[in-house]
Amino acid sequence: MSMIYQSTRGKGGELSASMAIIRGLSDDGGLFVPKTLPSFDFKPEEVSSWDYRETAFRVMRLLLDDYSEEELRQCIDRAYDEKFDTPEMAPLQKKGDRFFLELFHGKTIAFKDMALSILPHLLTTALKKNGIDRKILILTATSGDTGKAALAGFSDVPGTAIIVFYPKGGVSRIQELQMVTEKGKNTRVFGVRGNFDDCQSGVKAIFNDASMQEELSKQGFSFSSANSINIGRLVPQIVYYVYAYGRMVKQGHIKAGDKLNFSVPTGNFGNILAAWYAKRMGLPIGTLICASNQNNVLYDFLRSGIYDKNRPFILTSSPSMDILISSNLERLIYHIAGEDAAKNSALMASLRETGRYEITKEMEEKLADFYGAFATEEQVAEEIRGIYKETGYVIDPHTAVAAFAQDCYRKESSDTTPTVIVSTASPYKFAGSVYRAIQGETSLTDDFEIVDALHELSKTDIPAAVSEIRNAGIVHQTVTDIQDMPKQVLTSLSAL
Ligand SMILES: *Cc1c(COP(=O)(O)O)cnc(C)c1O
């Protein structure tokens, strides 16, 4: 039996895994999902003896089954190597009575490295095995972290080029510097006068524009996406849930077969969706805590069954979660609608036209795996300070949102299942907010002075990703209006 991927909107045909990775987004505007989800063909007790690469292989081979063993192992070996600053790739840390899965040991010190360091290899391998002799143009909208992680992944990879759009003023200074100092010859970065949702809608519109596709085709390019809508992003994210489970067993915190909860800082719903897939494939997961910041559209949705993006967009200290349209939620909607593409399409049309939709009671019942909570800015700061005071461990604001959500869950439920907090960014990436949360207002204004001060506080090494940009030159300066995004793509093409 081989895996078939099809669109959540039902009009995209049937594709192999490698073709779905090449396409990124389906022609009908939908997202690719597996027609039937495979089950893990291993037992929970086996997992604890595997290292990260072996776990990656054992998980990914089930979902990307048209890659040969050799191809897949090669992609894995190229991705998960010294680019990570620890051989464990994703260390599990116990601090006080909490567990943190650190997903920020890659090149750009945020969890998106886990998937974006392997996507370029999956993609170039996919082109080769399908006999496609075209260059791939990656178009990416970023709320801060995807951008640099994608740039780092694709930088100077032959046969690829990448253009990144980020909301000007909507990302941290360190995030912006990481992107605009990118030196890869096949890279372009644009600030957009708008928010992340504008960037994402702009990129989606370019993808779906037939005349853009034609123009690109003339120049030997095909579009693809490095956004978390690409199944080449989603599949590698399932890996670390299995890996975390194995570490919890190995470190003696749970027995193989026991349930485990995860608290996931959520924005575009990719990370937590991967956990949900892991559960459906057979990993003993209990509750998935969906943690939001003040942009709490998912919290409201989980409570009411109504998704409504008609609300103010709030800039917070966890900018990678400042999102009102969680793209990957469409996959969940499709599944809980009973894999009914027509039903899903109608809801997505309603979202497009009115900014809201309401699911049926029957669908709502299928959301029982999820618990929603959100944290205000004050609660985030308090959480960072509290955990530091208690344990000396410093967490970033995104991780703090998840830690706070875990507190809410503890208070509201009688569930005593161990919970792993998914730690999605290094505190150094958001040094200003983290430092102020712990120390109160500071006279330090320079971000790098704050980095040094944070180093004193946390007694952890300053990651290379931060020290490298200290004195790097700015390469990308252009800021564009939303409506000029297609034009920027076309003008960039000839030099890429
Ligand atoms: C992207 C990101 C998130 C949100 O993940 P989604 O898959 O979009 O839900 C959370 N934290 C950090 C640090 C991120 O970069």
List pLDDT tens digits, range 28-59: 989 999 999 999 999 999 999 999 999 999 99
Query: Could you give the CA distance from residue 26 to residue 8 in angstroms, rounded to a whole number?
Result: 9
Bridging pattern class, strands 187-193 and 92-95: unpaired
Both tokens of residue 327?
């793209």
Indicate the top mutation candidate among 268, 404, 423 to test ligand 1's pocket, ranked by most ligand atoms within 8 A of CB.
268
Residue 369: per-residue pLDDT: 95
Query: Mean pLDDT across the chain, nearest whole number?
Result: 95
C-beta 112 within 6 A of ligand 1: yes
Indicate the top mutation candidate among 179, 225, 266 to test ligand 1's pocket, ranked by most ligand atoms within 8 A of CB.
266
Longest Cα–Cα distance of the chain, Å, equals 63
C-beta 191 within 6 A of ligand 1: no
Residue 57: per-residue pLDDT: 98
CA of 327 to the centre of ligand 1 (A): 12
The whole-number average pLDDT for the span 363-384 is 98
Considering only CA atoms, which residue is closest to atom 8 of ligand 1? Answer: 268
**Ligand 1 nearest-atom number relative to CA 144:** 15
CA of 116 to the centre of ligand 1 (A): 13
CA of 265 to the centre of ligand 1 (A): 6
User: Is residue 188 pLDDT above 80, yes or no?
Assistant: yes
Residue 158: per-residue pLDDT: 86
C-beta 226 within 6 A of ligand 1: no
Active site residues: 112
Q: Contact at 8 Å (CB) between 239 and 275?
A: no
Residue 27: per-residue pLDDT: 86
Query: Could you give the CA distance from residue 425 to residue 452 in angstroms, rounded to a whole number?
Result: 18
User: Is residue 467 pLDDT above 80, yes or no?
Assistant: yes
Q: Which residue has the tokens 């040969």?
A: 68
Report helix angle 270-280 to 329-336, nearest 10: 40
Task: State which amino acid sits at residue 251.
Answer: Q
Q: Contact at 8 Å (CB) between 203 and 138?
A: no
Write down the H helix ranges in 321-418: 329-336, 341-354, 361-365, 377-391, 397-412
pTM surpassing 0.85? yes
Taking phi over 0 as left and psi of -120 to 50 as alpha, with beta for the rest, 169 belongs to: left
Dump pLDDT digits (tens) for 60-117.
Answer: 999 999 999 999 999 999 999 999 999 999 999 999 999 999 999 999 999 999 999 9
CA of 19 to the centre of ligand 1 (A): 25
Q: Per 3-state DSSP, what percentage of the chain is helix, strand, and coil (rounded to 5)?
A: 45, 15, 35
Q: Contact at 8 Å (CB) between 136 and 492?
A: no
Dump pLDDT digits (tens) for 209-223.
Answer: 999 999 999 999 988
Both tokens of residue 370?
């999820």
Dump pLDDT digits (tens) for 228-238.
Answer: 789 999 999 99
Residue 495: per-residue pLDDT: 85
3-state secondary structure 177-245: HHHHCCCCCCEEEEEEECCHHHHHHHHHHHHCCHHHHHHHHHCCEEEEECCCCCHHHHHHHHHHHHHHH
Neighbours of 402 (CB within 10 A): 30
Indicate the top mutation candidate among 140, 145, 164 to test ligand 1's pocket, ranked by most ligand atoms within 8 A of CB.
145
Query: Could you give the CA distance from residue 377 to residue 321 in angstroms, rounded to a whole number?
Result: 13
CA of 338 to the centre of ligand 1 (A): 27
C-beta 117 within 6 A of ligand 1: no
Query: Could you give the CA distance from residue 165 to residue 494 in angstroms, rounded to a whole number?
Result: 18
**Quick check: helix, strand or coil at residue 165?**
strand
Considering only CA atoms, which residue is closest to atom 14 of ligand 1? Answer: 320
CA of 42 to the centre of ligand 1 (A): 29
Give phi and psi for 239, each to the nearest 5: -55, -45
Q: Contact at 8 Å (CB) between 267 and 143?
A: yes
Burial 295-330 (b: 16+ CB within 10 A, else e): bbbbbbbbeebebbbeeebebbbbbbbbbbbbbbbb
**Quick check: helix, strand or coil at residue 365?**
helix
**Quick check: helix, strand or coil at residue 356?**
strand
Q: Contact at 8 Å (CB) between 216 and 392?
A: no
C-beta 110 within 6 A of ligand 1: yes
C-beta 424 within 6 A of ligand 1: yes
**Quick check: helix, strand or coil at residue 260?**
strand
User: Is residue 1 pLDDT above 70, yes or no?
Assistant: no
Indicate the top mutation candidate among 398, 404, 422, 434 to test ligand 1's pocket, ranked by most ligand atoms within 8 A of CB.
398
C-beta 327 within 6 A of ligand 1: no
C-beta 268 within 6 A of ligand 1: yes
The whole-number average pLDDT for the span 181-194 is 96
Dump pLDDT digits (tens) for 399-438.
Answer: 999 999 999 999 999 999 999 999 999 999 999 999 999 9
Residue 265: per-residue pLDDT: 98
Strands (E), 43-134: 92-95, 98-102
**Ligand 1 nearest-atom number relative to CA 399:** 11
Considering only CA atoms, which residue is closest to atom 2 of ligand 1? Answer: 320
CA of 111 to the centre of ligand 1 (A): 7
Give phi and psi for 415, each to the nearest 5: -70, 125
**Ligand 1 nearest-atom number relative to CA 323:** 8
CA of 145 to the centre of ligand 1 (A): 8
Dump pLDDT digits (tens) for 277-326.
Answer: 999 999 999 999 999 999 999 999 999 999 999 999 999 999 999 999 99
Domain 92-109+232-460 has CATH 3.40.50.1100: yes
C-beta 270 within 6 A of ligand 1: yes
**Ligand 1 nearest-atom number relative to CA 271:** 7
Dump pLDDT digits (tens) for 249-271.
Answer: 999 999 999 999 999 999 999 99
C-beta 319 within 6 A of ligand 1: no
Neighbours of 274 (CB within 10 A): 24
Considering only CA atoms, which residue is closest to atom 1 of ligand 1? Answer: 320
C-beta 400 within 6 A of ligand 1: no
Both tokens of residue 384?
């960072």
- Side-chain half-sphere CA neighbours of 453 within 13 A: 20
pLDDT band (50, 70, 90) for residue 335: very high
Query: Could you give the CA distance from residue 11 to residue 113 in angstroms, rounded to a whole number?
Result: 32
CA of 322 to the centre of ligand 1 (A): 9
Residue 441: per-residue pLDDT: 84
